[in-house]
Structure 1
Amino acid sequence: MLKQLLVAALALPSVALADDDNGFGLAGILSASNKQDLPPVTLSAGIPLADAPWVLKSGTYYEFEIQGDGSQELALVGPEFFRAIWIDEIVVEGLEIRPLGLDSIEFDEAGEMEIGFVAIKPGRYYMKVPGSTGETQRLEITIK
């Protein structure tokens, strides 16, 4: 019986370990070939959050930095956006955080954080400074 199982196993077609059908590699959608860097988001009193809206593709891995200059205690909210993505990690001063979800972030002083995520749910979203009404304090995001 063992001999028959071994012969059957050897007769199976070999599986390519280098790439899947989409060319992503062993890490799947987290592969470097599926990663894109987004422009940074700036948290600073009176400065626009970003230069232009983001247009993202569902299934693509993105990374962006949030840079706070400490000019004011500022937060960034976007609960609908954060629920439309899968957050891989948040990195703050070399510390990697792997949350189950996110509602908002806040900078009490100057610093940087990097967020890596996969865009999942198509739609129109935003991140903004809470309580602000100006267009420059809001980042429009579309996931296609």
Structure 2
Amino acid sequence: MLNRHSLLVTVMSMFELRFIKLCDWINTHFNLNPSLKRDKGSLLKQIRTYLINKAGLKFNTKKEEAWNELLALQSIRNNIIHNYGKYESKNVFIDKYIGSNKNISINVSNEFIFNHEFLKDLVPNFKTLCKELQEAMRDKSNNN
């Protein structure tokens, strides 16, 4: 269980870093000012706000669903890090994610349990989000 928790933490950290680099690239490529400004709070929410409000990327239903899943995973990651792997405070993104994913559960000790399929299932979801963002950047580029 600890290895799966560690892997999710690593994957989410990698995604956050890649999204920061994506925002930097967008800022340079489209000559936007200001660049992504990091404040307290959810980094992924700040990145999403930047992509929509500053970069002008369009978020369709598919992107919204994929992004909400990413927010759920970020919340799970935060619980793993800050609450020693336990689900301490209710979160609508986590509740919805657990309700729709058979590969994650909460045990009697309130700990996140990932079965052996959980991390493998993340790849198609991440791939969908990346493809959707790539399409949105292409559309913006074609419209400029």
- TM-score range normalised by the length of the shorter chain: under 0.3
Higher helix share: 2
Report the TM-score, using the length of structure 1 for normalisation: 0.28
Higher strand share: 1
